[in-house]
Amino acid sequence: MSRATLELTKRKELYRRFRNLSEGNAARVLGYIDALEEERPSDETLAALQEADAIARDPSVRGFTDVAEMMESILSDVRS
């Protein structure tokens, strides 16, 4: 069975099960679904994510894989 057929079968089963719920339970399920949906990030958040991505890809920016090494570098910069 193809992946698309499996997905369709799953959706039909969920729809069948949802139809059999009481009105109160159906409302509760819909509330859970609404709570799980993510809101669109603000423009400021998107800009920060893009900036972080650019910094992560910039070979001239020093990166750290060890927190102790990072803290040592920060403190040496502050002491200088």
Going residue by residue through the chain (80 aa), what tens digit of pLDDT does each one get?
Answer: 788 888 888 888 888 888 888 989 888 888 888 878 777 888 999 999 999 999 999 999 988 999 999 999 999 988 87
Domain ranges of the chain: 3-36, 43-79
Q: What is the pTM of this model?
A: 0.41
Alpha carbons 32 and 59: distance in angstroms, whole number = 43
pLDDT of residue 2: 83
Alpha carbons 9 and 2: distance in angstroms, whole number = 11
pLDDT of residue 69: 94
pLDDT of residue 49: 95
pLDDT of residue 36: 80
